[in-house]
Amino acid sequence: MSKYVLCVNNQTLFADDGADDFAPHLVIGKVYKVALPQENDGDMLRIIDGSGEDYLYPATYFEPFIPGSRESTDSLTIYLDPFLKGVLYAEAVASQKSMSALVKEWIDEHLDLPLGAD
């Protein structure tokens, strides 16, 4: 299974587990990172969800997320304080790149993305 997966099911697993809230913790259509499996995980995937912790979910709740497998219409807007925006602009000018190219370069260097994830 890939390092990133797409959620295709977010059904609550156990309605009698004593939790106060039975709302799903996963969002269908969103991409999640898969944590390293541990002994006895079985057919479950260890998914890092919105809490930042990893939890076990059935592998059938996900499909591999492969670069180019889905057409994306999402965009990302980043709000920066004036100081950080100024520093980013100065770095972009100094390297003769656009600010977005500089941010993309940083992402490529710091995230272990699969090849072809442009």
Answer whether 9's CB lies under 8 Å from 28's CB. yes
CATH of residue 18 = 2.30.30
| 23 and 55 part of one domain | yes
Helix, coil or strand: residue 54: strand
**48-86 pLDDT per residue, tens:** 877 778 888 899 999 988 766 666 556 778 888 999 999
State how far the Cα of 64 lies from the Cα of 99, in Å rounded to an integer: 31
| 9 and 48 part of one domain | yes
H helix or E strand, kind and range, residue 62? strand 62-64
| 15 and 49 part of one domain | yes
Answer whether residue 50 is part of any domain. Answer: yes
**Stretch 97-109: mean pLDDT:** 86
Strands in 31-34's sheet, in edge-to-edge order, are 54-58, 44-48, 31-34, 4-7, 62-64
Residue 14 predicted with pLDDT over 70 = no
pLDDT at 60: 92
pTM above 0.85, yes or no: no
Range of the structural domain that residue 83 is part of: 74-112
| 14 and 59 part of one domain | yes
pLDDT at 106: 86
Answer whether residue 69 is part of any domain. Answer: no
Of 86 and 118, the one with more pLDDT:
86
